[in-house]
């Protein structure tokens, strides 16, 4: 994957994360996002455990948020876009539809 594509997916994932976090924060949406980080891996992990404790978010949204955070972590780790089972590149079409996809079509 090119750096350009990676930056594109990172942006999309960050947007997804932000809108999910906004749902969590609801009425306090005007305050600064307490989960906002510079993409530090430790902070991301921290954020994941914090987010999983947050109430007021549906289970589906929580799961999606966790998947989005994991995907952002994989970007940091340089393994984004590779199947977590076989290590093959996940096809672009699939990532385009689900930017946080962890597995290739064969292993989904």
Interface with Zn ion (CB under 5 A): 83, 85-86, 104, 106-107
Closest separation between CB of residue 91 and Zn ion, Å?
11
The nearer residue to Zn ion, 21 or 83, going by C-beta atoms, is 83
Half-sphere exposure of 88 (CA within 13 A, CB side): 10
The nearer residue to Zn ion, 32 or 106, going by C-beta atoms, is 106
The nearer residue to Zn ion, 63 or 107, going by C-beta atoms, is 107
Q: Distance (Å, rounded) from C-alpha 59 to C-alpha 82?
A: 26
E runs forming strands in 1-108: none
Closest separation between CB of residue 31 and Zn ion, Å?
41
Extract the tokens encoding 22: 């906004």
């Amino acid at each position: 994957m090119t750096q350009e594509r990676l930056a594109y997916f990172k942006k999309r994932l960050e947007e997804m994360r932000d809108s999910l976090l906004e749902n969590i924060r609801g009425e306090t949406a005007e305050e600064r996002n307490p989960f906002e980080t510079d993409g530090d891996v430790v902070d991301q992990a921290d954020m994941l455990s914090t987010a999983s404790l947050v109430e007021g978010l549906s289970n589906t949204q929580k799961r999606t948020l966790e998947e989005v955070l994991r995907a952002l972590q994989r970007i940091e780790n340089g393994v984004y876009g590779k199947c977590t089972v076989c290590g093959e590149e996940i096809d672009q079409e699939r990532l385009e539809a689900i930017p946080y996809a962890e597995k290739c079509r064969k292993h989904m």
